[in-house]
Amino acid sequence: MQIDIIGVPIDLGADRRGVDMGPSAIRYAHLHQKLRDLGYTLEDKGNIEVPIQETCAITDPRLKYIDCIIPMGRRVAGAVATSVQAGRFPLVLGGDHSLSVGSIRGAAKHRKLGVIWVDAHADFNIPETTPSGNIHGMPLAALCGLGDPRLVSLWEETPPVIDPKRVAVIGARDLDPGEKRNLREAGVMVQSMEQVDRSGMVAALEKAIHRVSRDVDGIYLSFDMDALDPRHAPGVGTPVPGGLTFREAHLACEVVAETGKLIGMDMVEVNPILDVQNQTAIHAVEFIRSALGSRVWGGD
């Protein structure tokens, strides 16, 4: 299988600068060689064009920088759709999580997807519930058909890209009150850190995969590095204590890989300005490897 690496150096959806350098940090952590070591062929497609923040304006405080985020989402969707339709595996490097309004939409073109969303946050706000107006807190809701019509459709009037009942959020521990209502009403499965602590990562993932993998053409994994405890991933913009351990994150990716249904992946919210010796990006590469089949014993 060929992997298409697609960088999206966007920080417009977040409230901290620096995450636009995430794709470079992940590449610098020997991404290419480590994937070739697994036997994959690669084509690095470079970075999607993203305007810098200084050239964009906030026209709506509840949807910050939306006028610049929408064209980015369209470009990402087109690149990912082209990759999947050619039988390749799109690996999308962020950048903040707003990029997923495009990546998952592109992967879902002409196909039915289940989504595993590994994140400290559910990113299920809409303009009426957001406390910040930051769009990186809205992409999953938009993909499920909720929120501002521009985010929901990007460029065309379509039904929701993803069925909310085929979505599972793993590792959540920081949810806004209105966001919780949105998740419940939509029927999204949330395997919070409490569930992970009580039942273990394997049980939580198996339950999630059972939910999202029925009657689908594939599974898309969107992995936000702030899902990890900040001790393991200091280089993120919105760290929340009490997150996944290094091994739990690996295990999550390993269990997803074992399904044989993974067709694309986001790795987002790596912020090298806040990192320590590129530790977060180095871990991100290892998690990508695990999602693509690497194992301590028998997988390499």
Q: pLDDT digit string (tens) for 25-41?
A: 999 999 999 999 999 99
Catalytic member of 20, 123, 229, 266: 123
Residue type, 166: R
What is the distance in angstroms between the CA of the first residue and the CA of the last residue of the chain? 15
Q: Which of 13-17, 109-113, 217-221 has the highest mean pLDDT?
A: 217-221
DSSP β-bridge partners for residue 3: 42, 89
Distance CA 186, CA 58 (A): 29
CATH architecture of the domain with residue range 2-291 = 3-Layer(aba) Sandwich (3.40)
Is there a catalytic annotation at residue 226?
yes
pLDDT for res 299: 46
Is there a catalytic annotation at residue 136?
yes
pLDDT at 298 over 70: no
Catalytic member of 179, 269, 275, 283: 269
Residue type, 132: S
Is there a catalytic annotation at residue 250?
no
Which residue, chain included where needed, has tokens 């960088």? 7
Adjacency order of strands within the sheet including 2-8: 41-47, 2-8, 89-94, 262-268, 218-224, 113-118, 167-172, 189-192
Residue 73 C-alpha from the chain's centroid? 13
Is there a catalytic annotation at residue 232?
no
pLDDT at 113 over 80: yes
Is there a catalytic annotation at residue 30?
no
With cut-offs at 50, 70 and 90, classify the pLDDT of residue 155.
Answer: confident
Is there a catalytic annotation at residue 121?
yes
Using a pLDDT cut of 70, give the percent of the chain over it. 98
DSSP per-residue codes, 107-140: HTTTS-EEEEEE-SS-----TTT-SS--GGGSHH
Is there a catalytic annotation at residue 217?
no
Q: pLDDT digit string (tens) for 157-206?
A: 777 889 999 999 999 999 999 999 999 999 999 999 999 999 999 999 99
**Annotated domain spans of the chain:** 2-291
Catalytic member of 4, 11, 96, 121: 121
pLDDT at 300 over 60: no
How far, in Å, are 5, 106, 133, 148, 297 from residue 126 at the CA level? Answer: 30, 21, 9, 7, 44
Is there a catalytic annotation at residue 119?
yes
